[in-house]
Amino acid sequence: MATQTKTYEAKNLPETKFRAGAIAATVWKNTANNKEGKEVEYRTISIERNYKDKNNEWKTTTSMRVNDLPRVIVVMQKAYEHLVLKDQGKEGEIA
């Protein structure tokens, strides 16, 4: 069986990932140019659930079941804390 290797540019790597069981929140660091042409950073968060299909192979989905929601809340809270504390550190504030 062949193994597929994914190649990523450094800017496309996740900044961090928070996991609670099969649910994960990934924080991505992005860059774009603002109206003045200056490069600015911003972050996005993606949520996914890992599961095994009927052939016992691992898959991912962005669809959640009702029982997944408590774990979604946990990983989203951790991602939010990460972003808020990171911003406070840049401004020199003490948490």
The mean pLDDT of the chain is 85
Give 28's strand partners. Answer: 14, 44
Q: Which band of pLDDT confidence, cut at 50, 70 and 90, is reported for residue 95?
A: very low
pLDDT at 8: 45
- Considering the domain boundaries, does residue 22 fall inside one? yes
- Considering the domain boundaries, does residue 45 fall inside one? yes
Reduce the DSSP state of residue 84 to 3 states and report it. helix
Domain count, the chain: 1
Across the range 32-46, mean pLDDT stands at 92
- Considering the domain boundaries, does residue 3 fall inside one? no
- Considering the domain boundaries, does residue 85 fall inside one? yes
Q: Residue 2 above 60 pLDDT?
A: no
Q: Which band of pLDDT confidence, cut at 50, 70 and 90, is reported for residue 88?
A: confident
Q: How many whole angstroms separate alpha carbon 95 and alpha carbon 89?
A: 8
1 vs 85 pLDDT, higher one: 85
- Considering the domain boundaries, does residue 6 fall inside one? no
- Considering the domain boundaries, does residue 52 fall inside one? yes
- Considering the domain boundaries, does residue 19 fall inside one? yes
- Considering the domain boundaries, does residue 21 fall inside one? yes
pLDDT at 54: 96
90 vs 81 pLDDT, higher one: 81
Q: Residue 58 above 60 pLDDT?
A: yes
pLDDT at 91: 52
Closest Cα partner for 63 from 18, 23, 28? 23
Q: Identify the domain containing residue 32 by its residue range.
A: 12-91
